[in-house]
Amino acid sequence: SQQGEEDPQALSIQEGENATMNCSYKTSINNLQWYRQNSGRGLVHLILIRSNEREKHSGRLRVTLDTSKKSSSLLITASRAADTASYFCATPEGSGNTPLVFGKGTRLSVIA
Amino acid sequence: SQTIHQWPATLVQPVGSPLSLECTVEGTSNPNLYWYRQAAGRGLQLLFYSVGIGQISSEVPQNLSASRPQDRQFILSSKKLLLSDSGFYLCAWSGQPNTEAFFGQGTRLTVV
């Protein structure tokens, strides 16, 4: 099954800096999603970008999608200590009613 | 509004003992339901998903099974736990195909 792969695996930045995480996937998709997971908790949906969209914003989050390169990026601007978490990209396993397949995630640490 | 309940939050079980983890969804009908497992510091592995009562798809052959006895109830079971079954188990649901997934808070299972 196809799977997104996030890069880098871990990222440590100072509060106020921007954080960029990347995701690559293998096959054609109709959408790509980003999730956040605080340590020991469930995942929380952040944003969904459709295959016909190139960029999407939500608050301090900016997601881009390049279907020709099969890649996406998540940018968190003006990071805060509370942004410390793991971030995952997810893509549908296939066409139709299929489950999401997740990458291994990027562990973001924002140092105050 | 829709909510998802997953319990217990933590569980310590001896090798060879049975397992039953339960997940229920409120506030929606005919949800797609999922069980994922997450090893320490790793990504999510899809175990089972269900698009309707009695319809279970298994992604990974293993020591576990799933059942959906009611529309909004999803159960993960094992007859005899192995050490390798330890991990963080997450239940999730989604509405329309390929839309965002909503996760429970997870169950930390330790097999000793």
Longest dimension (CA), chain B: 39
Determine whether the interchain pair B49/A41 forms a contact, defined as Cβ–Cβ distance below 8 Å.
no
Backbone phi, psi, residue A38, to 5°: -75, 155
Determine whether the interchain pair B101/A45 forms a contact, defined as Cβ–Cβ distance below 8 Å.
yes
Nearest C-alpha in B relative to A101: B46
**Mutate which of A43, A50, A98, A104 to test chain B, going by most B C-beta atoms within 10 A?**
A43
Asked whether residue A52 carries a pLDDT value surpassing 70, the answer given is: yes
Q: How far, in Å, CA of A19 to CA of A5, rounded?
A: 17
Q: CA-CA distances (angstroms) from residue A87 to A9, B25, B42, B90? A: 10, 24, 11, 16
Q: Which of A41-45, A92-96, B20-24, B42-46 has the weakest average pLDDT? A: A92-96
Nearest C-alpha in A relative to B41: A104
Residues 6+ apart with CB under 8 A from A4: A23, A24, A25, A32, A72, A88, A89, A90, A91, A101, A102, A103
Return the DSSP state at B53. T
Asked whether residue B97 carries a pLDDT value surpassing 90, the answer given is: no
Mean per-residue pLDDT of chain B: 93
The pLDDT score that the predictor gives to residue A3 is: 66
Taking the CA of residue A98 and the nearest CA in chain B, the distance in Å comes to: 7
Band (A1; pLDDT cuts 50, 70, 90):
very low
Q: Is B26 on the interface with A (CB under 8 A)?
A: no
Percent of chain B with pLDDT over 70: 99
Residue B70 three-state SS: strand
Asked whether residue A2 carries a pLDDT value surpassing 60, the answer given is: no
Q: How many CB atoms lie within 10 A of CB B95?
A: 14
Q: Tally C-beta pairs within 8 A across A and B.
A: 63
The 10s digit of each residue's pLDDT in B9-41 is: 999 999 999 999 999 999 999 999 999 999 877
Range of A27-36, A58-67, B48-57, B98-107 with top mean pLDDT = A58-67
Taking the CA of residue B50 and the nearest CA in chain A, the distance in Å comes to: 9
